[in-house]
């Protein structure tokens, strides 16, 4: 029982660190992108180069967010367990078919 609590604690701690990392990434994005827009405005506004880091980083930030908050929805533990059960059921059906 104690081992389960310790494992659950470390999983929860890892999850909190992942979420914290995402929020730091988001905070950096919110601070840096307006600064880049300002630099672009002050130097050469005719070519709007700030779009490139804004969209590139924004796509990375979106992927990071999905990997943190929607992890189990696509290929998480629930999906793995369903697939394992599906393959076990297929194997069982194949075995009983040949008997």
pLDDT band at 75 (very low <50, low <70, confident <90, very high): low
75 vs 33, higher pLDDT: 33
**DSSP helix, strand, coil percent of the chain (3-state; round to 5):** 90, 0, 10
pLDDT number for residue 99: 61
Residue 58 CB: number of other CB atoms within 10 A? Answer: 13
pLDDT in tens, 84-95: 889 888 888 877
Q: Higher pLDDT residue, 98 or 23?
A: 23
Give the angle 42-38-59 at the CA atoms, nearest 5°: 135
What global pTM score does this model have?
A: 0.68
The vertex-24 CA angle with 67 and 16, nearest 5°, equals 60
26-50 tens-digit pLDDT: 999 999 999 999 999 999 999 999 9
């Amino acid at each position: 029982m104690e081992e389960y609590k310790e494992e659950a604690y470390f999983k929860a701690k890892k999850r909190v660190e992942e979420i914290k990392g995402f929020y730091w990434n988001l905070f950096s994005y919110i601070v840096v992108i307006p600064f880049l827009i300002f630099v672009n405005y002050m130097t050469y506004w005719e070519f709007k180069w700030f779009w490139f880091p804004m969209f590139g980083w924004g796509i990375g930030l979106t992927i990071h967010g999905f990997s943190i908050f929607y992890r189990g929805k696509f290929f998480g533990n629930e999906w793995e367990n369903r697939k394992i059960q599906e393959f076990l059921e297929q194997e069982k059906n194949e075995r009983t078919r040949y008997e």
